[in-house]
Amino acid sequence: MTVSIYLERSKPFIGQDSGYREATYAIFGVPYDLTSSWRPGARYGPQRIREVSWMMELTPYNGEGDLTLAPFHDLGDLSVVHGLVKMCKRCMAVTSQVVRDGKVPVMMGGEHTFSLPTILACRPVKVLVLDAHLDLRESHLESRLNHATWLYRLFERTGALECAIVGARGFERSELEFAREYGVRVIKAKEVQERWREVRDDIRSFVSGGKGVYLSIDVDVLDPAFAPGVSTPEPGGIDVHTFLNLIGLVFAEAKLTGIDVVEVCPLFDNGQSSLIAAKAIVELLAASK
């Protein structure tokens, strides 16, 4: 890769991968959490997700036997430089190269801010976000670019974009108003839990149809009882089974052009949140639909 100067290689996800040329998916980490406004430590997320993946059983959630994974290559982590904008540029450069090479990027965060450059590089038609928050604030803590504003900035850059947010339960009124103005479908966590069949059909309808879909997973979409190690935990989230069913639904129905799993903060649990993140990635790398 021409942008390999931005990457630092380590033992790869699940301990093995294919060569870059043969890969369908290209994994990379962004170990950065400069704008964390509650719990610092998401910078350790990518490496911890890798570490727990090394001991995972490759058994499908909704099946038997071993998962067969599509060819993937772990590029390592972005080397860190001071400055969020510089890091975003590095992230976009790497993602753009991956896309030009005909591969699906899988970004492990790190803070949610890096979904912005990754999505811009992927240029999807639709964006599906699993998140406890809407991240549609115009500014947060006197900053216009951070983990709570990245989706607002995305709409600023792209204009109209088909977007759905699933699992929301912590947001400001202004964010809901922005979502309504721009046609963002907001499915709250309570709706997911109480009317799963309808929500399942809504999501299937949103992601199907052959259009490119980018999937962004903020692990705080889960209730803190299941995933306590996240940057901004919010009570009232979805459970692990519902989460994995959502992942399976998206995998089965969507044409994925990019994926990210972000905001794992390993300092605040014993690996539970990292393990769930690793499991989500494994399910999304499964080769057979």
pLDDT digits (tens, 9 = 90+) for 75-113: 999 999 989 999 999 999 999 999 999 999 999 999 999
What tokens appear for 116 in the block?
A: 């912005």
pLDDT digits (tens, 9 = 90+) for 222-246: 999 999 999 999 999 999 999 999 9
Q: What is the dihedral of CA 274, 276, 282, 285, to 10 degrees?
A: -100
Full residue range of the structural domain in which residue 172 is found: 4-285
- For residues 186 and 196, give the distance between their C-alpha atoms in angstroms, rounded to a whole number: 14
pLDDT for res 289: 45
The side-by-side arrangement of strands in the sheet containing 126-130 is: 7-8, 72-78, 25-30, 104-109, 255-262, 212-218, 126-130, 162-168, 185-188
The bridge status of strand 126-130 relative to strand 104-109 is unpaired
What tokens appear for 167 in the block?
A: 């699992």
- For residues 95 and 166, give the distance between their C-alpha atoms in angstroms, rounded to a whole number: 24
Question: How many domains is the chain partitioned into structurally?
Answer: 1
Q: What is the CATH number of the domain that holds 197?
A: 3.40.800.10
pLDDT digits (tens, 9 = 90+) for 2-59: 777 788 877 999 998 899 999 999 999 999 999 988 999 999 999 999 999 999 988 8
pTM of structure:
0.95
